[in-house]
Amino acid sequence: MDRLPIVYVRGYAGPTAGINEQVDDPFYGFNRGATHVRVGGDGDPAFYQFEGPLLRLMTDEGYQLLVHGDQHQYLRGAEDASVPPASLWVYRFYDQAATTFAAPPHESLPERLLGKLHRRVTADGFDIESAAAGLYDLVELIRRKTGAPRVFLVAHSMGGLVVRCMMQKVCFQADAEGRPRSPAKDLVARFFTYGTPHGGIAFRLEALDRGEQLFGPAGSDIFAPEKMYGYLEPKARFGDLPPRSADFDPQRLPEQAFDTDDVFCLIGTDPRDYGLSRVPVGPRSDGLVRIERAYVRGAHRAYVYRSHSGTYGEVNSEEGYQNLRRFLFGRWQVRLDLAGLPGDLPEEPVWQADARLVIRGLPIVMTEQSAAHWCPVQLGDEIRRRAGKAGAGVAVPVTGTFLLDRDRLRYALTLRVFSLREDGGRLHLGEHLEQVPAWADTLVVDVRPDADDAGLTAWAAWNSAVDGPPDRFDPITEGLPDGARGPLEWRRADRDLVADVPLPATARALTVLGPDATLRIAVRDRQGAG
């Protein structure tokens, strides 16, 4: 993928007092790094220096951060197609709502006190649709000045809703002079979100949900799921609620607006390192956004043990950056499915799977779904949901990632399958061994681009079959005592190269997996060659 301009869109800053604090940061927080990393569970924080996503893109991908005192003024004054496309831009939509760029008024003491109170409970000057329209104008300006055909959009939290308002509503409306706007597909190449509440923010108490919708202090009512209809539907106005006849789902990005295959949602699963909102929101969240509401349906996802923001936040994390970099620039898209599963699975027991994906050379986990982090793969439910559509066998997506175009790649998928029995809505623990999986293993995959650069050669083996530590063998099949040591055999399936790796016998003995179960690897060349 060409080095297209990257535009960052920040999240919710709260009332005017919070907005004033944020506009003092020249990069709206995207320059911030971190020196702490969670080691998991209740472990103490360990030192790890992450420079921040802006600096890393400059050092890793050769991007430039062009400010010159004012990014907007610099762009307006530049000649068309004269600005480097590999450039970073921060959309400062909150500046117009800040009070720090004007001379302070002469106020009496009561007026001063009331003004401070007002700035702590309201967000005058901010409107999500105006912010979305301003983003459209900025993207068009950047495209014209850089000559780039499209841009990458990277958003944190509410910033993702600003982008979606632009894509789903603003792009379908005429501008102030009555001219039709371009569709988002013509403006944006890829769209990445950190912790965006694509399905709104929901609380454990229904009364709080109602209060959010009715009152929404400091503009927070934009997170009420039903009120999202007003700024995501082209013909609606903010405040409108979806009619009963409308099939409105805030997590659905219409195909005519943008292709969900070009969307990636990073989902945080650590609520403990966030503020007080983690109490009413609950544990299945990043402290603010619930896990099941943090993605666009059909988009790529990664689950990381990070909180919504702060010291252990998603934006200033190595996990977030590595997923961002590979989604924007990775040539190879990899999808991993459990395939060949039986479609006639009984209701009991409940089957779940933990899945963890790592890439050699990285100090972090790329994505992890686990019961401990409130987001296991609901294996039994997924099988039953897909059984009616399956042919010879059911396929359940497990995880996926993107790989950079390097000479040597190794990634590993760890799977743990659990069964649970319920009795009257409660877990039946009579025969249960806690945290003991019915099956667990790690698939190690080595990948190398072909000499003619037209495809990939890959080797795969289950760690349980490798005769010694996997680090000793490259490719991994050299560690197999018997059987095939050659590369995987690919077959063409539409735009993908597909290979099946049979599961070990211990796994195929489980009723949830069955005798024909495989781990299916599907690889797509995003440059169009594979």
Q: Among the ranges 1-5, 152-156, 493-497, which has the highest mean pLDDT value? A: 152-156
What is the predicted pLDDT for the residue at 100? Answer: 85
Distance CA 312, CA 287 (A): 11
Q: Is the pLDDT of residue 267 over 70?
A: yes
Beta sheet of 6-9, edge-to-edge order? 64-65, 87-91, 6-9, 151-156, 188-194, 263-268, 300-304
Measuring CA to CA, how many Å separate 59 from each of 7, 88, 231? 17, 13, 37
Is 387:343 a contact under the CB 8 Å cutoff? Answer: yes
Place of tokens 């003995």: 509
* Helix (H) / strand (E) containing 524: strand 518-525
Strands (E), 169-298: 188-194, 263-268
Q: What is the pLDDT of residues 178-231, one digit of tens each?
A: 999 999 999 999 999 999 999 999 887 665 555 555 556 557 889 999 999 999
- Mind listing the pLDDT tens digit for each residue in 30-65? 999 999 887 655 667 888 899 999 999 999 999 999
**Cα atoms in the Cβ-side hemisphere of radius 13 Å centred on 400:** 22
Q: Please give the pLDDT value at position 220.
A: 82
Distance of CA 473 to the CA centre of its chain: 33
pLDDT tens sequence across 489-507? 999 998 899 999 999 999 9
Has residue 240 got a pLDDT over 80? Answer: yes
Under a CB-based contact definition with an 8 Å cutoff, are residues 218 and 15 in contact?
yes
Confidence grade of residue 325 (pLDDT, cut at 50, 70, 90): very high
Whose tokens are 């060659």? That residue is 529
Closest listed residue to residue 503, CA positions, set 486, 487, 520: 520
The 10 Å Cβ neighbour count of residue 25 is 14
If DSSP codes are grouped into helix, strand and coil, which group holds residue 461? strand
Among the listed ranges 25-34, 66-75, 240-249, 427-436, which one has the minimum average pLDDT value? Answer: 427-436
Biggest alpha carbon–alpha carbon distance for the chain: 86
Average pLDDT, the chain: 89
More confident residue, 529 or 339: 339
Q: Which of 336, 337, 304 is nearest to 318 (CA)?
A: 304
Domain segments of the chain as ranges: 6-201+252-329, 335-525
Element housing 386 (H / E): helix 379-387
Taking residues 345-369, what's their average pLDDT?
A: 93
**Residue 94 to residue 79: CA distance in whole angstroms:** 27
Question: How far apart are the C-alpha atoms of 409 and 392, rounded to whole Å?
Answer: 32
Query: Does residue 417 surpass a pLDDT of 60?
Result: yes
Contact criterion met (CB below 8 Å) for 167 and 193: no
Instruction: Quote the pLDDT of residue 346.
Output: 85
Predicted pLDDT at 389: 61
116 band by pLDDT with thresholds 50, 70 and 90: low
Predicted pLDDT of residue 160:
98
Domain 6-201+252-329 fold is: Rossmann fold (3.40.50)
pLDDT reported for residue 215: 54
Host H or E run for residue 313: none
pLDDT at 343: 85
Q: How many helices (H) and strands (E) does the chain have?
A: 12, 21
pLDDT band at 392 (very low <50, low <70, confident <90, very high): low
Average pLDDT of the segment spanning 440-457 = 87
- Rounded to the nearest 5°, which phi and psi values hold at 234? -55, -35
- Give me the mean pLDDT over the 380-389 stretch: 86
DSSP strand pairing (188-194 vs 151-156): parallel
Percentage with pLDDT > 70 across the chain: 90
The separation between CA 502 and the C-alpha centre of its own chain, rounded to angstroms, equals: 30
